[in-house]
Chain A
Amino acid sequence: MQPCGFAYIWILCSVLLIFVVLGSPVVNETVKHQNSSTQENGNNSRIPIVSFRWEHVKGPYVVAVGVLVAFLSKLVIEANHNVTSVIPESALLICFGFVLGFIIWGADKVELFKLTPTVFFLYLLPQIVLDAGYFMPNKLFFRNIGTILVCAVIGTLWNAVSLGFTLCVCQKGGAMGDLDMDLLHYLLFSSVIAAVDPVAVFSVFEEVHVNEVLFILVFGESLVNDGVTVMLFNTIEAFIPLTKPIDFLDILRAIVSFFLVAVGGSLLGLLFGLMLSLLTRYTRSIQIIEPGFIFVVGYLSYLTAEMLSLSAILSTICCGVSCKKYINANMDERSVTTVRYAMKVLANGSETIIFVFLGIAAVDKTLWVWNTGLVILTLIFIVVYRFIDCVCCIGVFFLTWIMNKFRLIQLEVIDQIIMSYGGLRGAVAYGLAVMLDEKKIKEKNLMVSTTLIVVYFTVILQGLTLKPLVTWLKVKRASDTEHSLIETVQNKVFEHMLVAIEDIAGQFGHNYMMDKWNHFEEKWVAPILMKPSARKNQDYVFKVFHRLNLKDAISYVTEGERNGSLGLIRNQSGVIELEKKFAQKSSEAMPDIMANMGDELGAVSTLGREPWPSVSLDMHEQKGAKQTEDISHHLLQQHLYKGRKQHRHRYSRSYIEVNKDKKEAQEIFQRTMRNRLESFKTTKMGLAAKTLTKYPKKLHEHKMSSGKLYRYANEDPDIAEEEEDSTSSYEASDDSLTMKVLRKAEAENEKPTFVLETEAAESTLAPPWLSGTEADSNAATPSERARERLPCTPSSIRRAPSTESVAQADAADVEDSSDEELALPSTPPPSTPPPSTPPPSTSPPSTPPPSTPPPSTPPPSTSTSPPPD
């Protein structure tokens, strides 16, 4: 849909929202009126057939439509990519909020759409914080915890106190006119406004992609400083009615309260996190609501901390951080996926709502108390103090003392500038400001409106300029997070090396601590919190290996499916028709692939993006209606497995059915083999030649496959397999083509004259890349030494082999591989694709003479299906 289409929908919906809100009293009256009229009309109190009960659903209805509108605005924004690349999404959302606010204001329904502190702190913030905790990169966070803490505690304190004093001095100097505020009021105000907001920071920095250390510093600070903010806010608010001067004892109390708030909150969160981990050990029997536990317990940790007036944000963060590892290991993989997605949905959704409502909040006549002096001074000093805070605190402070203690890598000046510039204020400040008691603080509205201005300024203006600034200052950007296997292994080697060096040097350094903690955790914590069965897959290297394998298997399956199915197309005419299609497609794709051959990223990934139509589409395209229908029926019958016993459509709330029938896979496999064998035989009978003459136009394509085949016949099957699977992801994985290769193999052997002909044609017509490889393969068979080595070609990296296929490749056993090769392209069971599928190796074996069809009986499927992890 067009971007403007989205915009129309959005406007439509927001108007709808207004009508819903506006219409309510009118409808109510009419309904009442109707009710009364019906009662008047007939005394027979009949049951009304339809009743309109707006009052009944009014509250949730308005909320739901409001959320819908907020989400739709996000849709509109996301549809315009060229805009979002310049303006951060949060700023756009706020602007949408402005527009919506004016519409609401026009409808005079402002009081319905206020972001109250209760809603914000109890319903919108928790999931964002939980999300942040759950997805926190733990290692990075704890590696930089020293800096984060210094920034969060000292930096925020400094910001709040200095801003408060400065504003007070400015007022005394007469910069703001006549205001009923004293020092404590200013301190309160500055404590509200000093804290960097996690929501704003996350949403802006997420799009900028600065390097991870910088990101974690700003983000970590914004999360941790909540403790400071809450403490400051509570303390100063408690002081305000006091008339007596604050004495030493009060300050001492404040300090104690700070530690209580921060440390207590963290410990509480830790407690909940451990509880949650322990809980997930036993939730396997109720798998379907397993993910629910995460959210409920996380929410409870937030609420409990809020109840005890501890730092709720810290508590939830700690909960998320501490439980993440264990729940991921304990829960089923599907549950983990559910948690991840649900978490993102909730967090992203409430972030959207928050920003839209921040925008709406601007349109409130009663709120606005403008004081130019205060606004301007606040803006200036916020930026200045933040800058001083970052540069001095981290720069000077660290250089002299903390740097030597905690940081090995100094922060560069540029990073510090970005840190200070990234100090965005957001909804937390607004929420706190709204929470102020109007009776105690007379200038509340002034504070709220100034806070709003600051929020808009930082989110919109700073957010807008942050990206150009980052580019301009050449801040180190984040590298892509996808790690190759070798990097992961190296990383692991590295960690151990550093620990060893610290051991040798007798240091109690960071690595030493980390290592000690890991040992402790493995020995004591993990056995308690983690299922014994889950502990197997904890090794990080193994995880990456597993993930890569999984990805390869998936890409293999999708590739196969894109080309029809995993190679089950046997119907002769159908094959030809489809082949025609695919031949065109693949020849179109070829230059693309060629370009990618040298590239280390391999051809598969580019192919993956190629929008190849699926089989059914292809078949509809074909004009010969009756025939294609025939084919399609045939194909469907053959390849869409229909279970022996009809799949029972049963609705169950407590579990999602997964087809686990082992026999099904078995049967599919056998069917495949049967088909394969049959087609093999038919080609032997010379059918292939017939089809060839029947479709002379496809000569080009045939040539190619025959050329390929010729090469295979000459080559070590071992290499052929690798070669096949790598260079021809476009071709070999398409099983209709490979079958053809098979058939061609026969044709070649049976009808040498034909082969000669195509050979001759090929040498002139074949594309250069093909002739190149062919010349190569003609040249020589690989040496003995070559066999010992790992045979590998560049683009096969994408298809990181599974255990078995590597073993297979290593074995270099001709007989073995020939057996395997024929068995390999079996369909994986449709329900769950095996995590590591062997690469599609479909080259015909050369050693066993084709006159005796190699696998008279299909090898047992167990030998080919990869071992489950």
Chain B
Amino acid sequence: METVSRSRCRTSRYFPWLSSPLGALGVGTAREPKRITPVTIQCMDSNDTVSCEQIGVLHKRFKQLSHNEDTLRREHFNAIHDLAWNPIRAQIIEAFFDRRNLIPPGEGSMEEIHLEEFLVVMSHFKPPSLSMTDEERDSVRREKLRFLFNMHDTDNDGTITLEEYRHVVEELLSRSGHIGKETAVSIADAAMLEVAGISMGHMEPDEFYEGITFEHFLKLLNSFEIEAKMNVRFLNMNASTVCY
């Protein structure tokens, strides 16, 4: 058991806290997820107590959301009360069912997810540790941006086209109520123009910008300290937040 987890550690070393227990369970492949009972979630690495705690917390939450079933479906997410306010709820829920966000990225989307997938998606929001080398930081950053990118790129063709981007901006601004759809479209267009300018450099007059590729996406958000921002604490979950 222990040796397996160690080897898994190497494949997904950016998520040591996940890889140790989940790797042991063969989560890495995510093709044929096994059932996980609370008993099977145990900590391999004694140093990593916090993350074990986190997994426990998340597992509890998983059970809560799924009403003690083994899988989560979209309607479970839709039933989360607080999420109803969120303007980009659809994208976020979709991200949980997107195979691209799993550790060996797949394609297409799933109908239901198990705890492993749930944890893997959640692991994108893990705070970085202090003692990271620059290289590690870079890859963490990449990983997180990839998640964000996948959220925008709905048709999975490797680029965020103008339509896709417009869609996001429209949704984003739909909640504020005061801003019309046209404004949203023009904001999206202006942003896209900006993107084209930043990522392409000089363009010939008959060239057109296809959309944001991931490389451009990295470049665009260069000054955006995603590794410092894209973090959620998974501790101290209040068990009373029962979903409806």
Interface footprint category on A: 35 or more
| Known pairs A538-B178, A715-B205, A803-B186; A795 contacts B197 (CB<8 A) | yes
Could you say which of A412, A497, A519 has the most chain B C-beta atoms within 10 Å of its C-beta?
A: A497
Within 8 A of A (CB), among B8-59: 50, 57-58
Given A496-B172, A509-B232, A719-B205, A806-B198 contact (CB < 8 Å): no
User: Among the listed stretches A53-61, A117-125, A498-506, A579-587, which one makes contact with chain B, having 4 or more residues with CB under 8 Å of it?
Assistant: A498-506
Judge whether B194 and A598 touch: CB under 8 Å.
no
Does the CB pair B209–A790 fall under 8 Å?
yes
Contact partner of A541 among B83, B172, B224, CB < 8 A?
A: B172
Question: Known contacts being A506-B238, A790-B208, is A545 close to B196, with CB within 8 Å?
Answer: no
Q: Which residues of B contact A719 (CB under 8 A)?
A: 205-206
A50 located at the interface, meaning its Cβ lies under 8 Å from any Cβ of chain B in the complex:
no
Q: What is the interface of chain A mostly: helix, strand, loop, or mixed?
A: helix
Q: Which of A505, A545, A786 meets B237, CB within 8 Å?
A: A505
Which of A493, A509, A512, A541 is in CB contact (< 8 Å) with B187?
A541
| CA A500 to CA B223, docked complex, whole Å | 24
Q: Is the CB of A408 within 8 A of B200?
A: no
Closest residue to B225 on the A side, CB-wise? A479
B193 contacts A803, CB within 8 Å? no
Is the C-beta of A776 less than 8 angstroms from some C-beta in chain B?
yes
- In the bound complex, residues from chain A placing their C-beta under 8 Å from that of B143 are none
State whether A507 and B236 are in contact (beta carbons under 8 Å apart), knowing that A412-B130, A500-B83, A542-B187 are contacts in the complex: yes
Task: Decide yes or no whether A794 CB sits under 8 A from chain B.
Answer: yes
Query: For B88, what are the chain A residues with a Cβ–Cβ distance below 8 Å?
Result: 493, 496-497, 500
The one of B162, B208, B234 that contacts A786, using a Cβ cutoff of 8 Å: B208
Residue numbers in B under 8 Å from A364 (CB-CB): none
Taking A408-B127, A500-B83, A803-B182 as contacts, is the C-beta distance between A723 and B205 under 8 angstroms? yes
Annotate A788-811 by CB proximity to B: 1 below 8 A, 0 otherwise: 011111111110111100110110
State whether A503 touches B235 (Cβ < 8 A): no
Which chain A positions have C-beta within 8 A of B86?
Answer: 496, 499-500, 503
B203-218 vs A, CB cutoff 8 Å, 1 = contact: the mask equals 1111011100000000
A69 within 8 A of B: no
In the complex the two chains form, is A777's CB within 8 Å of B198's CB?
no
DSSP class of B's interface residues: helix, strand, loop or mixed? helix
B186 nearest CB neighbor, chain A only: A803
Question: Which chain A positions have C-beta within 8 A of B80?
Answer: 503-504
Contact of B229 with A494 in the complex, beta carbons under 8 Å: yes
Which of A507, A602, A720 touches B233 (beta carbons < 8 Å)? A507
- Measured CB to CB, the nearest residue on chain A to B229 is A494
Interface size of B by CB at 8 A reads 76
Pick the contact of A498: B125, B203, B208 (CB < 8 A). B125
> Known contacts being A790-B209, A796-B193, is A500 close to B202, with CB within 8 Å?
no
Once the chains are docked, how many angstroms separate the CA of A492 from the CA of B178?
A: 16
Residues of B contacting A499 in the complex (Cβ-Cβ under 8 angstroms):
86
Cβ contact of A545, chosen from B77, B190, B198, B209, cutoff 8 A: B190
A480 to B223, CA, bound (A): 9
| A337, chain B: closest CB distance, angstroms | 23
Asked whether A797 and B206 contact (CB < 8 A) given A409-B228, A412-B130, A489-B172, the answer is no
Give, as a whole number of angstroms, the nearest-CB distance from B67 to chain A: 14
Contact partner, A490, options B125, B206, B221, Cβ 8 Å? B221
Q: Which chain B positions have C-beta within 8 A of A515?
A: 85
Task: For the complex, give the distance between the alpha carbons of A512 and B220 in Å.
Answer: 27
* Selected contact of A791 from candidates B61, B65, B208, CB within 8 Å: B208
CA distance A809 to B169 in the complex (A): 19
Instruction: Give the residue name and chain of the A residue nearest to B178 (CB).
Output: A536
CB of A34 closer than 8 Å to a CB of B: no
**How long is the Cα–Cα vector from A503 to B61 in the complex, in angstroms?**
10
A-B CB contact pairs (8 Å), 29 listed:
A408-B231, A410-B130, A486-B195, A487-B221, A489-B188, A489-B191, A492-B172, A494-B230, A496-B86, A496-B172, A497-B148, A498-B125, A500-B83, A501-B122, A504-B77, A507-B233, A508-B236, A541-B172, A542-B173, A542-B178, A715-B205, A720-B205, A776-B206, A782-B208, A790-B192, A792-B197, A793-B202, A794-B201, A803-B183
Give the interface of A toward B (CB within 8 A): 404, 408-410, 412, 479-480, 484-487, 489-494, 496-512, 515, 519, 535-539, 541-542, 545, 548-549, 597-600, 602, 715, 719-720, 722-723, 773, 776-777, 779-782, 785-786, 789-798, 800-803, 806-807, 809-810
Beyond A536-B178, A780-B206, 6 additional contacts (C-beta under 8 Å) are A487-B224, A496-B92, A537-B178, A719-B205, A777-B206, A794-B197
